[in-house]
Amino acid sequence: MKKFNIILITMVMISLIVVSFTNIRLGGITGKITPPEGASAVALVAGTDTLRAEMSNGTFTFVNLKEGVYKVWIKGNAPYKDATIENVAVKDSASTDLGEIKLQQQ
């Protein structure tokens, strides 16, 4: 009887762990900066956390983001200004496309 109880408790714990991890769904943010040479860096800000993304020909992608609201910050190269996009929403399992982001000259 004791062995049966241990097996039953172990099975319940494994089931709870599997269910808790399957509920985590992650999204992303993508965009394209024009002109591509106008930006040196792109970062995502959430509270006190900052995440940087690599750029390829002005295109960037942030992946594995939890559902929430973020700020995208773009560091401009002279003669272009820095740019900030506020209130970028990410939903469960969805990718938010910011489209084309045109940098303004100073």
Compute the average pLDDT of residues 100-105.
95
pLDDT category of residue 13 using cuts at 50, 70 and 90: confident
What are the phi and psi torsion angles at 52 (to 5°)? -100, 150
- In the chain, the N- to C-terminal Cα span, in Å, equals 78
The verdict on domain 26-102 having CATH code 2.60.40.10 is: yes
Least confident of 20-24, 28-32, 51-55, 73-77: 20-24
Q: Classify the phi-psi angles of 72: left when phi > 0, otherwise alpha if psi is within -120 to 50, otherwise beta.
A: beta
Spans of all domains in the chain: 26-102
pLDDT at residue number 12 = 65
Q: What is the pLDDT of residues 49-60, one digit of tens each?
A: 899 999 999 999
